[in-house]
Amino acid sequence: MPRGLKVATIQFEPTMFEKARNIDRLAALCEQAAEGGARLIVTPEMGTTGYCWFDRAEVAPFVEPVPGPTTERFARIARAHDCYIVVGLPEVDDDDIYFNTAVLIGPGGVVGRHRKSHPYISEPKWAAPGDLGHQVFDTPIGRIALLICMDIHFIETARLVALQSADVICHISNWLAERAPAPYWISRAFENGCYLIESNRWGLERTVQFSGGSCVISPDGTIAAVIDGGDGVAFAELDLEAARARKVGGEPVFGQRRPELYAELLTNTFSWNPHDFFRLYGHRPWPPGRRSQMAVVQMLPADDVGDNLERIAALARLAKTRDGADIAVFPELAVTGLKEPWTRAQPLPGPATERLCRLAKELGMHLVVGLAERDGDSLYNSACLIGPEGLVAVYRKTHLTTADRAWAEPGDAWAVADTPHGRIGLLIGHDASFPEAGRVLALRGCDIIACPSAVGGRFSAAHPGSRVAQNYPIPTGADPYHWHHFRVRAGENNAFFAFANVFDPAAGYPGLSGVFGPDSFEFPRREAIAADGEGVATSVIDTSGLDSVYPTNIVRRKDLVSMRLPHGYRELVRHTNASVTVEV
């Protein structure tokens, strides 16, 4: 199996009702890619037919079986050039059921296929949800997985194929409603430490503007190649060893997973009216929620507990007096400092938390603060939720970095607390590198995820701007924070995500703290980012239900969470995954 692999993504605008023309044009683009040396070529979702079909009757003349005439057309190209091609088409099976399908075709014909498992708005009119699961196909050029458009909104799909050691995810799409390369695409490559080849269509079809931005994304989230608008081919060279390292930010994340804590990923808490579900039997009903001001505080903790507590108090007062903040989240280890924090570890409760409780009562605020905790002979990297009423909750970091493991024990439980501001779940720094962690908190009905952090490296990237037209108010111009990994964490869980990071560029901590809103496709975004230096960023959050019968607020309704298909997620919670290759 080669270490290096040349690949190509194809961007194409199909025309509805002109299947033969579409196939001819796609075949020509695949020939161009193959003649350019690409061994793996990816084409868009439904690229052979167009996408915006009204119903089964309208698409019926264009469906076909797999294998079939279209797959054989592309198999001839694959045989001639010894390459692999991913093609999107509407499939019909022996029972006359239609599927939105991606087919991997090699020199020997059809290698495998994926039927879109998580349909978007239009497919339920004509297609059934996919029934083939999420597979990885072993080929002479690497381990290849297929996903289709909406599938990638769900953290579970890409994680399932990553656990099967996928080198490359081929994601074919008809993406819309934002600039591309889309942040979701980047985060799925980044959090799974693998390559993602994105083939998206472009153009206008039945009033729908598609985004283009077809690209190749590296395991570190960098864009190796991209097409903005128009038909075209983009090439990239992949180093498959970078994917097989299975690392995120230098950490061996697949060896650090905690599947024993993930059993709730198989639950479906939002399949019923969540107002009813979360008050079932009168057990822990949702707090009413309200409109609040939430702040994240960006700072570099010192190596002195007293100095840190003074700095925390000063910044909390600033957040309160300047911004009217009701909640403030401080960085990981903010009380005890980052350097040898165990030497300043605090008991809980103890003098440090007592001082913070007095501060919270004085200001009428809730505070989330990180510190090293000592409990007898045990040490933990912990976070405290403190309010005017006292110490509300303590969370012990469950996913430890390599550096954490030198001094701390992992926690073994999630922390969720109800407050006047809504239901709050706690994570700490590296925990948020694991998509499973935020998902469990969302399934528990958290409106807010507070995440004190000391996260270094690169987890955000700019966008230079796009020539693809978008409907107002979707931005098309340059954006220094187009992709922010922790904004994606908010959107995928339909929760407010408060990421309070250390700022110390010399040591690799970029800051970029932010309060991120619950809807990735709401523009202008509901968020505030602290870009440079110490300081406070504050944003309005609204956790009220807005309706007494069924919640109309997305943080309570959680659209994406309700559309999950957890019966297919079993592999995420297995305590042993023999199929995963991990370097620790």
Strand boundaries in 206-278, DSSP class E = 208-211, 215-217, 223-226, 232-239
Give the homologous superfamily in CATH for domain 4-246.
Carbon-nitrogen hydrolase (3.60.110.10)
pLDDT on residue 576? 75
Among 6, 13, 30, 45, the active-site one is: 45
pLDDT on residue 579? 45
Residues 6+ apart with CB under 8 A from 429: 332, 397, 401, 451, 452, 453, 454, 455
Helix (H, G, I), strand (E, B) or coil at 437: helix
Residues 6+ apart with CB under 8 A from 49: 14, 16, 19, 22, 59, 62, 89, 90
Which tens digit of pLDDT belongs to each residue from 451-481?
Answer: 999 999 999 999 999 999 998 999 999 999 9
pLDDT on residue 507? 97
The whole model's pTM is what?
0.97
Among 149, 194, 384, 446, the active-site one is: 149
Does the annotation mark 451 as catalytic? Answer: no
pLDDT on residue 1? 53
Cα gap 559→221, rounded to integer Å = 26
pLDDT on residue 186? 98
Beta strands 202-205; 195-200: pairing state: unpaired
Residue matched to tokens 């199996």 = 1
What string of DSSP letters covers 322-348? HH--SEEE--TTTTT-SSSGGGG-B-S
Cα gap 216→251, rounded to integer Å = 22
Q: Where in the chain is the domain with CATH 3.60.110.10?
A: 4-246, 291-573
The candidate with the shortest Cα–Cα distance to 286, out of 545, 58, 486, is: 545
Class of domain 291-573: alpha beta
Residue matched to tokens 């695949």 = 30
Does the annotation mark 125 as catalytic? Answer: no
Backbone angles phi, psi at 181, to 5 degrees: -60, 130
Does the annotation mark 357 as catalytic? Answer: no
| Burial profile 101-130: b = 16 or more Cβ within 10 angstroms, e = fewer | bbbbbbbeebbbbbbbbbbbebbeebbbeb
Among 6, 13, 19, 116, the active-site one is: 116
Under-50 pLDDT residues of the chain: 578-584
